[in-house]
Amino acid sequence: MENTRQTSANPRIDLKYRRKKNAEEMRYQIISFALMIFLTLIAFGAVYYEGFSHWFVVPFIMLLAAIQVVFQLFYFMHMSHKGHETPALFLFSGLTVALITILTFLTITWI
Amino acid sequence: MSTIAQKKGFGATVWDYLTTVDHKKIAILYLMAGGIFFLAGGLEALFIRIQLAVPNNDFVSAGLYNQILTMHGTTMIFLAAMPLIFAFMNAAVPLQIGARDVAFPFVNALGFWLFFFGGIFLNCSWFLGGAPDAGWTSYASLTLNAKSHGVDFYILGLQISGIGTLIGGINFLVTIVNMRAPGMTYMRMPLFTWSSFVTSALILFAFPALTVGLFLLMFDRMFGGNFFDVSAGGNTIIWEHLFWIFGHPEVYILILPAFGLFSEIFATFSRKRLFGYSSMVFATVLIGFLGFMVWAHHMFTVGMGPIANAIFAVATMAIAVPTGIKIFNWLFTMWGGSIKFTTPMHYAVAFIPSFVAGGVTGIMNAVAAADYQYHDSYFVVAHFHYVIVGGVVLALLAGTHYYWPKMFGTMLSEVLGKITFWLFLIGFHLTFFIQHFLGLMGMPRRVFTYLPNQGWDTGNMVSSIGAFFMGIAVIIMLINVVVTQVKGVKVGNDPWGDGRSLEWSIPSPPPFYNFKQLPLVRGLDPFWIEKMEGKKGMTPAEPLGDIHMPNASFLPVTISFGLFVAAFGILFHVDDKPWALPVMIIGLGITLVSMLIRSVKDDHGFHIHKEDLENEDKGVKA
């Protein structure tokens, strides 16, 4: 049942290619990890610094959060890879449904 | 390891079912457990109708009536309809896509046992101080003030069985995405598989809302939270929103597999390809999506304001479009077909007008302004019983007759089946049609009795008589099952003679590995294509080889049983019972230790060897 559909195109067989690919992957992960820590520091800084008004800080942190979600999905959950179309479809449809629901609460139904 | 089944004693059979991870046996477990809860819910329905048959009746007291009414709704939705749907999904989906099992067989068993123990826990409430009595919607403004433990049983029982449903749904998503046979593209999947797929996605997105709602309610009732307590700054309407964000997709979770079953039955017994297959798929997905955009139509009278009401009214009416597409496609499937009126086909044909009636009253309810009149009246009761009984229950009865030969290898009596059908159909319309008018005449829902001479007496009597017709119909079906199983006449691969999809290309019941060689799928209705070309079975897509199978395991039972025990501890902890905390710890301990064993013990399954499969072949031929 398992592993019955392996084809010769499977990168697992090509060790050299795999090693190179893994190193590349690792580099991206470290870069995005460093970026995410950096973004978190900025977010903390924005809250800490008293010169900014709330009207700037809240949307700004939201924006940083959105960027981090994208990093998370694409570099750590391998969404950019081939064969991840179905999970992507489910993630985005779930996101659409959730966002529409939240939008509804914010605009037309007061809780 | 030999593949040849041996005759087993009673104890061995029970142990086999307790430890099974085989989707076909889990289907039988779901069918039996769901069937038992269906009988319990049906009995509660009969008590309701006895109480309401005449005005000023005192068959049950007001408090007991509330409990019976709540448990009727909760049982029928969560413990009867859902598991029965899972029964058919388990029985048919892996076979329809040409898989040897679901993606996670262990998790599949765990899902069943969680549902089962959750259901048992909920029903324990009858013997431990009274059942939940705040309606199946369990609105927070009522539940926060409920004095008995009934509502706590509701919260914890549904939480446990909800986990089971959620992991069941995820399992089917993974199975359908990853385990389709060679050539089985998405657009070649039978419609029951498609609707199971969309249903599983709805479960994945909708059940978390219920889980969150139940958690908040649990904290409010048991641990001093204030989420819904208005006097402490909470908001009681949040529960209504959370419940219906789950609750509306839930009714589509029920009805979509029903649509799928009927699509199979229409195509099979019209002996025609399903009309408009791709539009059926499109409509199924669209209904799934729209199901999330309409929850507030249950709350028109809450006071959300005209804009919210108008938007939700229009969104609700939009659902009639994909549903209409489906209705017309079924009609056109029959059109010009060579129709065979078997028992499942009787149900399918009767389903169309019954369900359309329910759909039309649905549109009436969707008109927000008019809904102020219908709200909380018997009109609403009539509406949702028309869609759920006229849609889901007819589908489940049809599916029982249709898939019985595939699940058990015997054919239910067609004569008794048709008697069941007619009694049930007449009883159903007798019970619920007149409730529309009772509602329009002002009878409110959920009342335990009413005064005479308001024009409701005759209507209620007629309705109660109808309920007994349905009761007799179900009893005849049980007799049918017993008679059929006692006779035990075995049937072949394709007992209906017109099977179209892969499940009919293998023996009934299928061997535990389903497909000796995975089949090659060459189009929609793959088995039909092969038959039309004069072949007896499917063309294999792979050479005969070893088959890897999962080992049986008792751990799903212990994991679920631990939660069942812990729930009692949590529930009685509120009363400061000294034994409550230890019970909670012991229960959670059982669960966690079982999970630990599962994690650390290597379980690689076993292989059925090629030679055994070959020997089996020779044995059959000799």
Q: Is the distance from CB of B312 to CB of B368 less than 8 angstroms? A: yes
Residue A94 lies in a domain: yes
Residue A8 lies in a domain: no
Task: Count Cβ atoms below 10 Å from residue B144 Cβ, excluding itself.
Answer: 21
Number of domains in chain A: 2
Q: State the smallest CA–CA distance between residue A103 and chain B in angstroms.
A: 11
Q: Is the distance from CB of B183 to CB of B521 less than 8 angstroms? A: yes
Residue A2 lies in a domain: no
Which residue in B293, B296, B547 is closest to A1 by CB distance? Answer: B547
Contact between chains at A109 and B296 (C-beta distance less than 8 A) = yes
Angle at B533 between CA B282 and CA B331, to 5 degrees: 35
Hey, is the C-beta of B189 within 8 angstroms of any chain A C-beta?
Answer: no
Give the Å distances, CA to CA, from B498 to B272, B273, B494: 10, 11, 7
Q: State the smallest CA–CA distance between residue B164 and chain A in angstroms.
A: 21
Q: B99: exposed, middle or buried (C-beta count within 10 Å: 0-12, 13-18, 19+)?
A: buried
**Is residue A86 located within the same domain as residue A107?**
yes
Hey, is the C-beta of B543 within 8 angstroms of any chain A C-beta?
Answer: no
pTM, entire model: 0.91
In chain B, what's the furthest Cα-to-Cα distance?
79
**Is residue A63 located within the same domain as residue A104?**
no
**Is residue A43 located within the same domain as residue A56?**
yes
Q: List the domain range (segments joined by +) for residue A91.
A: 81-111
Question: What is the spatial distance between Cα A71 and Cα A58, in angstroms, rounded to a whole number?
Answer: 20
Contacting residues of B for A3, CB less than 8 Å apart: none
Hey, is the C-beta of A103 within 8 angstroms of any chain B C-beta?
Answer: no
Size of interface A-B (CB pairs under 8 A): 41
**Is residue A92 located within the same domain as residue A43?**
no
Contact between chains at B238 and A93 (C-beta distance less than 8 A) = no
What's chain A's length in residues?
A: 111
**Is residue A19 located within the same domain as residue A53?**
yes
Task: List, in sequence order, every residue forming a beta bridge with B608; answer none if it has no partner.
Answer: B547
Contact between chains at A86 and B308 (C-beta distance less than 8 A) = no
By CA distance, what is B310's nearest residue in A?
A108
Contact between chains at B205 and A108 (C-beta distance less than 8 A) = no
Question: What is the spatial distance between Cα A47 and Cα A49, in angstroms, rounded to a whole number?
Answer: 6
Q: State the smallest CA–CA distance between residue B206 and chain A in angstroms.
A: 10
Question: What is the spatial distance between Cα B322 and Cα B584, in angstroms, rounded to a whole number?
Answer: 48
Contacting residues of B for A105, CB less than 8 Å apart: 241
Residue whose structure tokens are 């070649």: B188
Which residue in A4, A86, A108 is closest to B177 by CB distance? Answer: A86
**Is residue A36 located within the same domain as residue A53?**
yes
Strands B606-608 and B547-549: what pairing? antiparallel
Contact between chains at A110 and B101 (C-beta distance less than 8 A) = no
**Is residue A76 located within the same domain as residue A101?**
no
Q: What is the Cα Rg of chain B in Å? A: 25
**Is residue A25 located within the same domain as residue A76?**
yes
Q: Domains of chain B by range and CATH?
A: 10-542 (1.20.210.10)
Hey, is the C-beta of B100 within 8 angstroms of any chain A C-beta?
Answer: yes
The torsion angles phi and psi of B592, rounded to 5 degrees, stand at -65, -40
Contact between chains at B308 and A105 (C-beta distance less than 8 A) = no
Give the Å distances, CA to CA, from B144 to B141, B219, B230, B571: 6, 11, 10, 15
- Candidates B246, B286, B292: best to mutate against A (most CBs of A within 10 A) is B292
By CA distance, what is A3's nearest residue in B?
B548
The helix/strand/coil state of B540 is: strand
User: What pLDDT is attached to residue A111?
Assistant: 62
**Is residue A85 located within the same domain as residue A75?**
no
Hey, is the C-beta of A86 within 8 angstroms of any chain B C-beta?
Answer: yes
Residue A5 lies in a domain: no
Contact between chains at B289 and A90 (C-beta distance less than 8 A) = no
Amino acid, res. B146: A
Contacting residues of A for B305, CB less than 8 Å apart: 108-110
Which residue in A101, A104, A111 is closest to B237 by CB distance? Answer: A111
Give me the residues of chain A with pLDDT under 50, please.
1-2, 4-7
ipTM: 0.81
Q: State the smallest CA–CA distance between residue A61 and chain B in angstroms.
A: 26
- Nearest of B154, B164, B159, B165 to residue B73 by alpha carbon: B154
Contacting residues of A for B289, CB less than 8 Å apart: 93, 97
Q: State the smallest CA–CA distance between residue B233 and chain A in angstroms.
A: 13
Residue A85 lies in a domain: yes
**Is residue A45 located within the same domain as residue A95?**
no
**Is residue A65 located within the same domain as residue A27?**
yes
Q: B517: exposed, middle or buried (C-beta count within 10 Å: 0-12, 13-18, 19+)?
A: middle
Q: State the smallest CA–CA distance between residue B68 and chain A in angstroms.
A: 31
Q: A99: exposed, middle or buried (C-beta count within 10 Å: 0-12, 13-18, 19+)?
A: exposed
Hey, is the C-beta of B9 within 8 angstroms of any chain A C-beta?
Answer: no
Residue A37 lies in a domain: yes
Residue A39 lies in a domain: yes
Q: State the smallest CA–CA distance between residue B337 and chain A in angstroms.
A: 36
**Is residue A70 located within the same domain as residue A18?**
yes
Give me the residues of chain B with pLDDT under 70, please.
1-7, 617-622
Give the Å distances, CA to CA, from B431 to B16, B43, B456, B517: 42, 15, 14, 50
Hey, is the C-beta of B23 within 8 angstroms of any chain A C-beta?
Answer: no
Residue A56 lies in a domain: yes
The torsion angles phi and psi of B191, rounded to 5 degrees, stand at -65, -25
Which residue in A94, A101, A109 is closest to B304 by CB distance? Answer: A109
